[in-house]
Structure 1
Amino acid sequence: MEQGRRPVIPPRKNDPPVACPKWAYRHLLENLWARLKEWRAVATRYEKTASSFLSVILIAATADYIKI
């Protein structure tokens, strides 16, 4: 590509795979964590055990995915 830019969006099925830079994944993960912290139970970690905290994170991530 010109000027060294690369797309970050995933390619179509029939397009060759595009190497995505590591900073793009980190940015996406940081944005996801910020949206998950909007849930009070995730931000304050009310759950006592790791398994119940993981369950709350999964519920919040699923709700965030459905919202999009």
Structure 2
Amino acid sequence: MNVTCEVVGEETTTVSVAADATYADLCRAVGYSPHEVTVLVDETPVAEDAPVETDRVTVLRLVKGG
């Protein structure tokens, strides 16, 4: 499944994830830990263990830097 991920303030990218992927898997595919971002679907946060059921998400970084 291809999912377009808009990372707020950065870039928009399309990643491929397995048909049974969760939003945590999607975060990792974009290059982030599920602990440092929140995934939004239609401006609503989704649980990281929920299955991916859309082809477009917004990724909001909560932690940046170190």
TM-score, normalisation: structure 2: 0.25
Say which one has the larger Rg.
1
Of Structure 1 and Structure 2, which has the larger fraction of its residues in strand?
A: 2
Of Structure 1 and Structure 2, which has the larger fraction of its residues in helix?
A: 1
TM-score, normalisation: structure 1: 0.25
